[in-house]
């Protein structure tokens, strides 16, 4: 396929690279003018859109997605599929679907889970909203960039799933960090804590796969001085999205709200750029 990829940051660059490595003709555009192996650079955004069968975007927030998609829809060929992999608010996702629909274009909101490691390895999970026909057209690309793609429903359903999933992740990571912090104060060995909790009712992804304690469990960012696999400020962004959605829809998410407040305090206190699991490090300083 001829694929245009807009947004070649920490996530977008490896995703575009994987598409190119699979034999697709990929043209990329980013305001930072970065170079990506196997991806032809475009000097203008329109050059990464016109004549493309699929246009993929990976952008920072809903406002930017809306602005970029106005230009994308204006320049896209009538048979193009537009896939937005950004993590944004549900309202913005639905708005860009509507924008594409007015021109007769197929579109998908397809945020991802798996972080920069998953983007590089091609093991991301895609949570996808849009029509069945659009999902069928995009699926071969999801299978290159990721290990799993779930069609969650119509426009905006992918973003809804991502927001809910990451609210669980933020809450559970704080719980795991607090448990290790308490174990430290009680004089319990961290390895013993892991061996018990990871094989009993405390078992969860934040503990078993992404343990926040250095030297315990499988290798994780904790073993690399909390160099971000998923930065704390990105977790804060997702928790902000969850709470905005909760307020607009009358959902009671007290734990989600408290997790948002904890991550905001962490980021404001110097946690920006560190992995979201570095909450454990902050608790140890209290």
CB 174 within 8 A of CB 259: yes
pLDDT tens, position by position, for the chain (286 residues)?
999 999 999 999 999 999 999 999 999 999 998 999 999 999 999 999 999 999 999 999 999 999 999 999 999 999 999 999 999 999 999 999 999 999 999 999 999 998 888 999 999 999 999 999 999 999 999 999 999 999 999 999 999 999 999 999 999 999 999 999 999 999 999 999 999 999 999 999 999 999 999 999 999 999 999 998 899 999 999 999 999 999 999 999 999 999 999 999 999 999 999 999 999 999 988 7
List the domain range (segments joined by +) for residue 171: 160-284
* 62 and 104 fall within a common domain: yes
Euclidean distance between CA atoms 280 and 203, whole angstroms: 17
Are 239 and 259 in contact, with CB atoms under 8 Å apart? yes
Same-domain check for residues 62 and 88: yes
Last residue of a domain, one of 154, 171, 194: 154
The CATH code of the domain that includes 258 is 1.10.1040.10
For residues 175 and 262, membership in a common domain is answered with yes
Same domain, 18 and 150: yes
- Phi, psi torsion values for 44, nearest 5 degrees: -130, 150
**For residue 52, what is the domain's CATH number?**
3.40.50.720
Do 205 and 95 have their domain in common? no
Same domain, 137 and 219: no
Task: Look at residues 87, 120, 154 and tell me which one is the last residue of a structural domain.
Answer: 154
CA–CA gap between residue 131 and residue 165 (Å, rounded): 22
Q: Are residues 10 and 104 in the same domain?
A: yes
Q: How many domains does the chain have?
A: 2
Q: pTM for the complete prediction?
A: 0.92
Q: Which residues are catalytic?
A: 162
Among 122, 154, 186, the domain boundary falls at: 154
Does residue 119 share a domain with residue 233? no
What angle separates helix 157-185 from helix 90-102, to the nearest 10 degrees?
160
Distance of CA 190 to CAs 179, 181, 225, 226, 229, Å?
A: 10, 9, 17, 17, 22
Whether residue 6 is found in the same domain as residue 134? yes
Q: Are residues 120 and 25 in the same domain?
A: yes
143 and 35 share one domain = yes
Q: Are residues 193 and 73 in the same domain?
A: no
């Amino acid at each position: 396929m001829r694929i245009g990829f807009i947004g070649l940051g920490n996530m977008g660059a490896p995703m575009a690279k994987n598409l190119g490595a699979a034999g697709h003709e990929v043209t990329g555009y980013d305001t930072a003018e970065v170079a990506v192996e196997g991806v032809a650079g475009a000097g203008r955004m329109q050059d990464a859109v016109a004549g493309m069968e699929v246009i993929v975007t990976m952008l920072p927030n809903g406002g930017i997605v809306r602005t970029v998609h106005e230009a994308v829809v204006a320049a896209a060929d009538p048979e193009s599929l537009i896939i937005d992999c950004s993590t944004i608010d549900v309202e913005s996702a639905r708005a860009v679907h509507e924008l594409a629909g007015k021109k007769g274009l197929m579109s998908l909101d397809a945020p991802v889970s798996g972080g920069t490691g998953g983007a590089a390895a091609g093991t991301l999970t895609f949570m996808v909203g849009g029509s069945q026909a659009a999902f069928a057209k995009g699926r071969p690309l999801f299978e290159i960039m990721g290990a799993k793609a779930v069609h969650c429903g119509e426009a905006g359903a992918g973003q809804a799933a991502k927001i809910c999933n990451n609210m669980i992740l933020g809450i559970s990571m704080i719980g795991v960090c607090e448990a290790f912090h308490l174990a430290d104060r009680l004089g319990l060995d961290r390895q013993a804590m892991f061996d018990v909790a990871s094989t009993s009712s405390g078992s969860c992804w934040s503990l078993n796969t992404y343990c926040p304690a250095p030297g315990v469990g499988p290798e994780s960012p904790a073993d690399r001085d909390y160099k971000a696999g998923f930065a704390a400020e990105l977790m804060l962004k997702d928790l902000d999205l969850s709470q905005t959605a909760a307020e607009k829809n009358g959902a009671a998410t007290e734990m989600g709200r408290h997790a948002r407040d904890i991550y905001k305090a962490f980021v404001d206190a110097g946690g920006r750029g560190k992995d979201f699991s570095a909450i454990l490090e902050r608790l140890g300083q209290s």
